[in-house]
Amino acid sequence: MSPMNAGEALHRARAGLPGLLVLLALVAGLVSMISVAVSDHPPASQAQQVQQIAAGLHCPICKDLSVADSPAPLAQQMRQEIAQKLRAGESADQIRAGFVAAYGESVLMSPPRQGVAGAVYYLPLLVLAAGLIIAFTLLRRWLRAPQPEPSGAGPPQLSATQRRAVARAVARLREEEP
Amino acid sequence: MSGRVTRRRARLLAGVVAVVAVIVVLLMTGLGKDPSVIASPLVGRAAPNFTLPQLDGPPVTLAKLRGQIVVINFWASWCTECQVEQAALDQAWRRFRDSGVVVIGVDFEDSAGAARGYVRTDGVTYPVVADAGSKTALAYGLRGVPETFVVNSSGRIVNHVIGPVGGAALASVINSMLTGAQ
Amino acid sequence: MGQLGTYLLLFGLAVSGYGLLAAAVGAKTGRPALVESARRCAFGLFAIVAAANATMLAALLTNDFAIRYVAGNSALETPAFFKALSLWAADDGSLLLWNLILAGYIAAVALRFRRDRPPTFPYALGVLFAVQAFYLILINGPAHPFASLANPPADGRGPAPLLQNHPLMAVHPPFLYLGFIGFTVPFAFGIAALLAGQGSDQWVSVIRRWTLVVWCFLTVGLLLGALWSYSVLGWGGYWAWDPVENVALLPWLMATAFLHSVMLQERRGMARLWNIALVIGAFALTTFGTFLTRGNVLSSVHAFAQTPVGPAYLAFLALVLLAGFGLVAWRLPELRTPASLSAAISREGAFVANNVLLLAATAIILLGTTFPLVAEAVSGQQITVGGPYFRSSVTPVFLLILLLAGTAPLLPWRATNRSRALHRLRVPATAAALVMIATAWAGVHQVAAVAGFGLAALVFVTSGQEILSGLAIGRHGMRGSAMRALARGRRRHAGLIVHMGLALVAAGIIASSSLGQQSQVTLKTGQSTVFAGQVLRYQGLHTDRQPQRIVLTTAVSVTGPSGGSAGTLDPRMNLYPASTAPIGSPSIHRGIVWDLYASVISLQDNGDSATFRFYRNPGVNWLWFGGLVMALGGAAAAWPGRRRRNSGDDNSAGQARTRPAVEAGAR
């Protein structure tokens, strides 16, 4: 099907797609999203638990990579240590605390939530709130501003030359239309 | 128009200058430091105990050395910077051995053969143990080699050096510990 | 050769100093002859800097180890290709490339404006020369690549192993630099507009295309960086939220915001000062990025060795911020546009939302990246802000941006006829919902992923629908072909193509982040394991001694579920004499839907046993392809139209369209 016919076919299909069907699809989509959100995740196997804890630890000899992602031997040994500690019955928090005791807080991929460092978790909300406030203020100001008045006189009379110039300008505008 | 506009301009400009000043001061604090040097939380705390086999000899247990000053040096045969500090460590061992100071080299992520070769060619005289599985390295928060920890007679870590340790610095630390109880 | 390079660089500094003075004096006193001489200088400057680069290249290729940079970054046994690449492998040398590209851009500006010029041209030229002068001062001073060694060694140290491992090193830095440095041009014109106090609409028609081209380069540069991370570093991912990666992304986000809000200025005469602020911000971010990368402030995989240039970059950054935003503050009362809006839910409102979201993402990433610095300065704590933080804070913003990209093209300007927009939303919304249902059914268990796939589908279908309907409308009454119809609304269609590319990139990111699998396994020779439905058998190790390294190649045979052979993976470990740890090279079987990715992380028993990491990475190739589509769409949008060749046309049309707005604003 050439792009032209596809365009026309789409035009026809669009006209015919009843609003009710669209609404039904949207509701079903929303429902599926909610069902995913509330569904129970199966309990993580030990390997998955090791991955989860390792993903929250920063590989000490790499830059930026987590212990889960890093191919370095030390990271490998850290993963083995995590597995051992899990088998010994330690909780995820205890394991993390053990590494923090040796390496300091910078071994955690994300800062602890307490203290000065915890402020980083509020930053995204603050940023978005600030953005929304600025946007609303701006929009309100623009909405209240006086709208440009259309002139009282009718369309101006143009000579043939001017008409051609207008036609050229309009054609250029169309080409440039964003 | 001019008076109000000028005042407004002045206020806006002052605002810009203030914000830029804060940014610059903040970034300046980062300039002086080396970002890869991270302070160890173990300094001032009890040194984690370990029992590790020597390359050729009986196992060494840190707890059994309580009452002595211990210099724990993490190294590896593949580490070029470790060779830089080798002389300093050997010198410290020879000089302070009779005062009860123990120097232990802990081999990190290495093969026994390569380690033995290094010990032979570089003439390491103090006890050298192998940390297979890196459990001790992890307990000491190792981020690379070489790193050196100095443990006092009560078993607390009093000094931590990242990178090759200098002979003079090491000697002064040990001397100050020997003369004044720390 | 070191002497020649040194003299060339000094001469270049002198020329750029003259250019700055001539342009500035010419602008202030209105002497076009001075400005013209400054303009001609730009070509001379480019030739000089190019010669300096050629000198360094020659020094590298002829093993001139008397020059400290060559001794530190090249060796006798380095292959010629990588010797050439060493030009930008380390700090001092890459500054040479930086200066070259900057001089190239100035020469391009000089060429572009050889006849018709906006009144802001002299000021802009002055600013460009000033920036070039700074970088030339740096390269002549603290970061001098031609410094010579008293006792030249017989052999050099060679490039850092990671940088000579893969040919992508040839293209990633140049494209990234083309993107980064390119922001100097819009910045220069923005400052010029503020200095000249002109109605800045003329400025916009000049700068929009430049910024678009620079955006395309930066898009490709970022893509290549991600591709390099994926194909070379062997950790199975493509973006590690490294500080240097983050700061490279920031100007891209700001430029994207500019490219959208500039339409507010073109169409409605609004947001003039805001657009200037955006280009100043984008340039400031590139300067900040340079400071962070080369100033050794944060730990990064890109960190150059410690150099004394940190304070210089910080001083330059302070100057840029003060001059740029100071001028904005100064001109604020004069250049404020009395804008008006008929309704919030309109194309104008959508562009406002676009800017808010993109700038929010920029702020979040910027603050998160610099937060460890702040925390240490304030409380002495040393912390890491890593991938998990950025992923969780940027994802909601990213999803909102997708939502916007999927609905905004349908919104009309001035909020006329909005019910039609709602009507046009039907098919995309349905498609999005169906995709969400399908992904939830298929067992994807992250909400963000389900939503993300749905929104990516929304963007894709909206853009596709608008392109097709544009074709249908364009054809109406014309004898022309589809291409002619596409060309009639070129900018709009190109923008929609960019959005389609964005949808692909989004789908790729979501798929690879949430649906990937990995497994680590140690195999003895002949042993096999099952992963991702394939049987992988370790067949053995092959050692290859090359002049500059030893390559240990493992062979892993891949057998498909049906029993048929699917080829061999050959992840490698490269041993370089300069490096203590081996550098791994992954082996990737790329597929349309997913990649089978293998990395060897350690060898035991002389290769009888090897530890592998296998990854199943879905959607990664959609990422590369979608990114390419974005860059090509941007290039299509920037392409001069048939009637645009004459630059006079460009300016007069811009003036005719926006003069009423300028006159209204001046009062």
DSSP letter at C595? E
Q: Chain B: give the shortest CA distance to residue C206, in Å.
A: 28
B38-57 pLDDT, tens digit each: 888 999 999 999 999 998 88
Q: Chain B: give the shortest CA distance to residue C306, in Å.
A: 9
- The share of chain C scoring above pLDDT 90, in percent, equals 48
C413 in contact with B at a CB cutoff of 8 Å?
Answer: no
Rounded to the nearest integer, the mean pLDDT of chain C is 86
A3-49 pLDDT, tens digit each: 667 777 666 655 556 778 888 888 888 888 888 888 877 778 888 89
The answer to whether the CB atoms of A32 and C263 lie below 8 A apart is: no
Rounded to the nearest integer, the mean pLDDT of chain A is 83
Tell me the pLDDT band of B2, cut-offs 50, 70 and 90: low
DSSP letter at C586? -
Q: Chain A: give the shortest CA distance to residue C375, in Å.
A: 6
C339-390 pLDDT, tens digit each: 777 787 888 889 999 999 999 999 999 999 999 988 888 888 889 999 999 9
Contact C553, C582 (CB under 8 A): no
Q: How far is it, in rounded angstroms, from Cα C438 to Cα C269?
A: 44
Higher-scoring residue by pLDDT: C89, C187: C187
For C162-187, b/e burial (b = at least 16 CB within 10 A) is: bbbbbebbeebbbbbbbbbbbbbbbb
Angle among Cα C448, C465, C482 to the nearest 5 degrees reads 140
Ranges assigned E (strand) in chain A: none
Left if phi > 0, otherwise alpha if psi is -120 to 50, otherwise beta: which for C417? left
The pLDDT of B113-122, averaged and rounded, is: 87
- The share of chain A scoring above pLDDT 70, in percent, equals 81
Nearest chain B residue (CA) to A84: B135
pLDDT at C647: 40
The pLDDT of C269-288, averaged and rounded, is: 90
For A71, which of C465, C487, C601 is closest by C-beta distance? C601
Q: How far is it, in rounded angstroms, from Cα C611 to Cα C607?
A: 10
Which chain A positions have a beta carbon within 8 Å of B141's beta carbon? 60, 102-104, 107
Q: How far is it, in rounded angstroms, from Cα A150 to Cα C509?
A: 48
Which chain C positions have a beta carbon within 8 Å of B15's beta carbon? 329
Tell me the pLDDT band of C655, cut-offs 50, 70 and 90: very low
Q: How far is it, in rounded angstroms, from Cα A136 to Cα A144?
A: 12
DSSP A53-75: HHHTBB-TTSSS-BTTT--SHHH
Higher-scoring residue by pLDDT: C443, C258: C258
For the cut 60, the answer to whether the pLDDT of residue C478 exceeds it is no
DSSP letter at C302? T
The pLDDT of C225-250, averaged and rounded, is: 92
pLDDT at C645: 44
C177-223 pLDDT, tens digit each: 999 999 999 999 999 988 887 655 667 777 888 999 999 999 999 99
Q: How far is it, in rounded angstroms, from Cα C478 to Cα A115?
A: 68
For the cut 80, the answer to whether the pLDDT of residue B10 exceeds it is yes
Chains that touch B (3 or more CB pairs under 8 A): A, C
Q: How many CB atoms lie within 10 A of CB C420?
A: 11
If we measure between CA atoms, which residue out of C232, C83, C301 comes closest to residue C72?
C83
Q: Chain A: give the shortest CA distance to residue C25, in Å.
A: 37
Which chain B positions have a beta carbon within 8 Å of A99's beta carbon? 138
Q: How far is it, in rounded angstroms, from Cα C30 to Cα C434?
A: 64
For C329, which of B9, B23, B30 is closest by C-beta distance? B9
Q: Which top CATH class is B51-179?
A: alpha beta
The answer to whether the CB atoms of B27 and C373 lie below 8 A apart is: yes
The answer to whether the CB atoms of A103 and B141 lie below 8 A apart is: yes
Q: How far is it, in rounded angstroms, from Cα B164 to Cα A63?
A: 21
pLDDT at C371: 93
For C356, which of A39, A65, A132 is closest by C-beta distance? A132
Left if phi > 0, otherwise alpha if psi is -120 to 50, otherwise beta: which for C236? left
Q: Chain C: give the shortest CA distance to residue B148, in Å.
A: 19
C641 in contact with A at a CB cutoff of 8 Å?
Answer: yes
What are the CA-CA distances from residue A13 to residues A17, C61, C123, C265 (Å)? Answer: 6, 64, 55, 36
* Range of lowest pLDDT (A136-140, B2-6, B86-90, C568-572): B2-6
For B35, which of C297, C322, C374 is closest by C-beta distance? C297
The pLDDT of C261-266, averaged and rounded, is: 88
For the cut 70, the answer to whether the pLDDT of residue C649 exceeds it is no
Best B42, B138, B147 member to test A by mutation, with max A CBs in 10 Å, is B138
Contact C234, C599 (CB under 8 A): yes
Domains of chain A (ranges; CATH) run 46-115 (1.10.8.640)
For B31, which of C310, C332, C581 is closest by C-beta distance? C310
Q: Chain C: give the shortest CA distance to residue B178, in Å.
A: 31
Q: Which residues of B touch A (CB under 8 A)?
A: 38-42, 48, 109, 133-135, 137-144
For the cut 80, the answer to whether the pLDDT of residue C488 exceeds it is no
Left if phi > 0, otherwise alpha if psi is -120 to 50, otherwise beta: which for C523? beta
Nearest chain C residue (CA) to B40: C382
Tell me the pLDDT band of C422, cut-offs 50, 70 and 90: confident
C25-41 pLDDT, tens digit each: 888 888 888 888 888 88
Ranges assigned E (strand) in C99-212: none
For A60, which of B109, B139, B143 is closest by C-beta distance? B143
Question: Which residues are CB-neighbours of C518 under 8 A, at least 6 positions away?
Answer: C236, C613, C614, C615, C616
Q: Is A166 helix (H, G, I), strand (E, B) or coil?
A: helix
The pLDDT of B71-81, averaged and rounded, is: 89
Q: Chain B: give the shortest CA distance to residue C132, in Å.
A: 22
Contact B152, B182 (CB under 8 A): yes
pLDDT at C193: 87
The answer to whether the CB atoms of A4 and C599 lie below 8 A apart is: no
Contacts with B, C 570-629, CB within 8 Å: 580-581
Position C469: which residue type?
Answer: S
Best B26, B38, B145, B162 member to test A by mutation, with max A CBs in 10 Å, is B38
Q: How far is it, in rounded angstroms, from Cα B39 to Cα C318?
A: 30
The pLDDT of C617-636, averaged and rounded, is: 96
Tell me the pLDDT band of B109, cut-offs 50, 70 and 90: confident
Contact C200, C280 (CB under 8 A): no
For A104, which of B134, B138, B141 is closest by C-beta distance? B141
DSSP letter at C295? T
The pLDDT of A134-156, averaged and rounded, is: 73
Tell me if the bond preceding C396 is cis, omega within 30° of 0: no
Tell me the pLDDT band of C74, cut-offs 50, 70 and 90: confident
For the cut 90, the answer to whether the pLDDT of residue C51 exceeds it is yes
Q: How far is it, in rounded angstroms, from Cα C102 to Cα C184?
A: 8
Which chain A positions have a beta carbon within 8 Å of B143's beta carbon? 60-61, 103
What are the CA-CA distances from residue C318 to residues A81, A102, C34, C503, C506 (Å)? Answer: 47, 39, 30, 38, 36
Q: Which two tokens stand for residue A76?
A: 């490998």
Tell me if the bond preceding C79 is cis, omega within 30° of 0: no
| Cα within 13 Å of Cα(C177), Cβ side | 20
If we measure between CA atoms, which residue out of C197, C28, C19, C168 comes closest to residue C102?
C19
Q: How far is it, in rounded angstroms, from Cα C568 to Cα C587?
A: 9
C388 in contact with A at a CB cutoff of 8 Å?
Answer: yes
C538-589 pLDDT, tens digit each: 998 999 998 878 899 999 999 988 888 889 999 999 887 766 677 889 999 9
Question: How many Å separate Cα B130 from the centre of its chain?
Answer: 18
Contacts with A, C 195-254, CB within 8 Å: 234-237, 240-242
Contact C578, C158 (CB under 8 A): yes
For B35, which of C298, C333, C370 is closest by C-beta distance? C298
Question: Which residues are CB-neighbours of B32 under 8 A, at least 6 positions away?
Answer: none
pLDDT at C130: 95
The pLDDT of B5-24, averaged and rounded, is: 89
Q: Where are the domains of chain B?
A: 1-33, 51-179
Rounded to the nearest integer, the mean pLDDT of chain B is 88
C292-342 pLDDT, tens digit each: 888 777 777 676 655 678 888 999 999 999 999 999 988 887 767 667 777
The pLDDT of B118-141, averaged and rounded, is: 90
Q: How far is it, in rounded angstroms, from Cα C624 to Cα C602?
A: 29
Question: Which residues are CB-neighbours of C31 under 8 A, at least 6 positions away?
Answer: C25
Q: How far is it, in rounded angstroms, from Cα C666 to Cα C656?
A: 16
C626 in contact with A at a CB cutoff of 8 Å?
Answer: no
